Amino acid sequence: MTSNLELAAWVNEAASLMQPNAVHWCDGSDTENAQLIETMLADGSLLALNPKTHPDCYLHRSNPSDVARVEHLTFVCTSDKDDAGPNNNWMSPADGHQLVNSLYAGCMRGRTMYVIPYLMGPYGSPYSRAGVEITDSPYVVANMRIMARIGTRALAHIEAGNSFVRGLHSIGELDPERRYIMHFPEELLIKSFGSGYGGNALLGKKCHALRIASWQARTEGWLAEHMLILGIEDPKGNVSYVAAAFPSACGKTNLAMLVPPLALKGWKVWTVGDDIAWLHPGPDGRLWAINPEAGFFGVAPGTSTKTNPNCMATLGRHTIYTNVALTPDNQPWWEGIDAPAPEGLIDWQGRPYDPANGPAAHPNSRFTVSATQCPSYSPQANAPEGVPLSAIIFGGRRSTVAPLVYEALDWDHGVFSAAAVASETTAAAVGQVGQVRRDPMAMKPFCGYNFADYWAHWSSFGTKASKLPKIFHVNWFRKDAQGSFMWPGYGDNMRVLKWILERCNGAAGAVRTPIGNVPHPDDIDTTGLVIERAVLEALVAFDPEVWTRELVDIAAYFATFGSRVPTVLNQQVTRIERELADKRAAA
Ligand code: OXD
Ligand code: MN
């Protein structure tokens, strides 16, 4: 089925190990997709939604034990354990192969093996990379078809002699005790077993475009990041591009599709991507970003015409919903959607909705939809050269400590601020929700190598590119003493983006603090926003006492990476410590 002998031999080898009934090479066509949907409707793994309100939309209900990424079962298998670093679970490549191959033996008996050639990144872009996923899940094929560019054209790219990442996937028995997501970066290989959930099973996404790609990017001089990319058009029609990294389920999709408040006349946001960015230094000294993905695999709960009107306009046709609730007339429903829960609602597990069982939609329920359906999809989203970045934003979900926004003093300080990001955990991964953990560059679950080496790689761009974007840190999630959010968020985040752009153009004011430049309350455009002055002041306030404690925690975190931590980060700790001591002495 392919003229690439290496690929043909690998597929044959996988088939002898897994023993499927049939092998199907995916061409990515509409006909093929229609047949897969038919198969899944027939076996009950998909339910057709109301064709009048939701044409060509389907609901998939996962096994209840398989609804999120499994970080504790995700491994990076490098020859030297230190290359994976304390940020990853490690196994030797030999042990990793042996373990998963024993699970793979005969695992596709009675099933079809699908071979999915795919491309991450726009057709014709020198930055795009190919992969091939082998899977026994038609649900994975249907989702990959939306999230990546799959089929004939991707295969032709590989057959033209381009390298490809190999990904093996079987849902096995969906047994959480027999579930592993293994990465072999030295072999550009992924082996996933026992889960059908997005981040564990759609191998082009987290496994390839982040874990393996971050490894490749380090050796090749670029960056693979957990970032949305957006274009901001000002009232004069100039568009500037920004990339922003936030941990999973912290609003990347909402920010990527933001609709500015009416009071900020003439501003508009264009969506390039909502989850992953590959950044390359361009010949002009700027960093250029492409979105390797072609679709959105977004968190449904909380999405509404109020929080994300562009997203709501994107959904509702040609969409796969996973683990949302179902109304009696077969429409998808989730907590926070526009309509209240109707009578007769069916929960994500197919039971009549009973609040005693928890939310109707799983908190990590998702939609999979093509980016081309998004009304704010950028005309530059498929530009082979990508888009040039003016700013990079990092952020976390922190009810205390981090101000609404601050600007790093220079590149290395920006790398420090990003490496020090902390955030409260969410339902996107199995485990306790709401625990503060360090999530450097929002890459804690996704960096395919030692974080200390990754920070050094980030720092090295200081000399690789002459017109680097400015680095900022934001926090939309500050809470007051009563536990209420202090900043309205969503569309009003445009006010912070505006300050960020104005800082890039040298137009806005700021106050210098040890942790960076914070806006004076008057520097944030509050036209049309009702917010108490005291709240705004508290949002941008810098508290030396709180940051003294924070810095101790950051330094202790860096120390867990030992002597590999780049000196520039420790120098930032020392500088901030000194400036904080001066502040305390002056107080
Ligand atoms: C995602 C995640 O699915 O970060 O994007 O978990
Ligand atoms: Mn993500």
Per-residue pLDDT tens digits for 185-244: 999 999 999 999 999 999 999 999 999 999 999 999 999 999 999 999 999 999 999 999
Counting residues of the chain whose pLDDT is more than 70, the rounded percentage is 100
SS3 51: coil
DSSP β-ladder status, 129-135 and 164-170: parallel
Counting residues of the chain whose pLDDT is more than 90, the rounded percentage is 97
Predicted local confidence at residue 576, as pLDDT:
97
Class of domain 225-294+380-542: alpha beta
Q: Is the CB of 322 under 6 A from ligand 1?
A: no
Q: Is the CB of 303 under 6 A from ligand 1?
A: no
The residue to which tokens 């076996």 are assigned: 43
CA contacts within 13 A on the Cβ side of 527: 9
* Mean pLDDT rounded to a whole number for the chain: 97
For residues 366 and 274, give the distance between their C-alpha atoms in angstroms, rounded to a whole number.
14
pTM: 0.98
CATH 3.40.449.10 residue ranges for the chain: 5-46+70-221
Closest CA to 229 of 381, 444, 369, 126: 381
CATH 2.170.8.10 residue ranges for the chain: 295-373
Atom 1 (ligand 1): residue with closest C-alpha?
A: 248
Distance 441 CA to ligand 2 centre (A): 12
Establish whether 250 is a catalytic residue. Answer: yes
CATH 3.90.228.20 residue ranges for the chain: 225-294+380-542
Segment 248-271 shows an average pLDDT of 96
**pLDDT grade for 583, boundaries at 50, 70 and 90:** confident
Segment 27-43 shows an average pLDDT of 98
Q: What is the DSSP letter of 207?
A: I
For residues 562 and 202, give the distance between their C-alpha atoms in angstroms, rounded to a whole number.
34
Predicted local confidence at residue 586, as pLDDT:
85
Q: Is the CB of 426 under 6 A from ligand 1?
A: no
Which of 3.40.449.10, 3.20.20.210, 2.40.110.10, 3.10.110.10 would CATH assign to domain 5-46+70-221?
3.40.449.10
Q: Determine the Cα angle at 560 with ends 557 and 562, to 5°.
A: 125
For 295-373, CATH gives: 2.170.8.10
Predicted local confidence at residue 584, as pLDDT:
86
Q: Is the CB of 425 under 6 A from ligand 1?
A: no
Predicted local confidence at residue 498, as pLDDT:
98
Separation in Å, CA 553 to CA 393, 413, 514? 22, 17, 16
**pLDDT grade for 461, boundaries at 50, 70 and 90:** very high
Ligand 1 binding pocket mutation candidate from 146, 225, 248, 425 (most atoms within 8 A of CB) = 248
Distance 275 CA to ligand 2 centre (A): 5
For residues 189 and 195, give the distance between their C-alpha atoms in angstroms, rounded to a whole number.
17
The lowest-confidence range among 100-109, 426-435, 510-519, 541-550 is 426-435
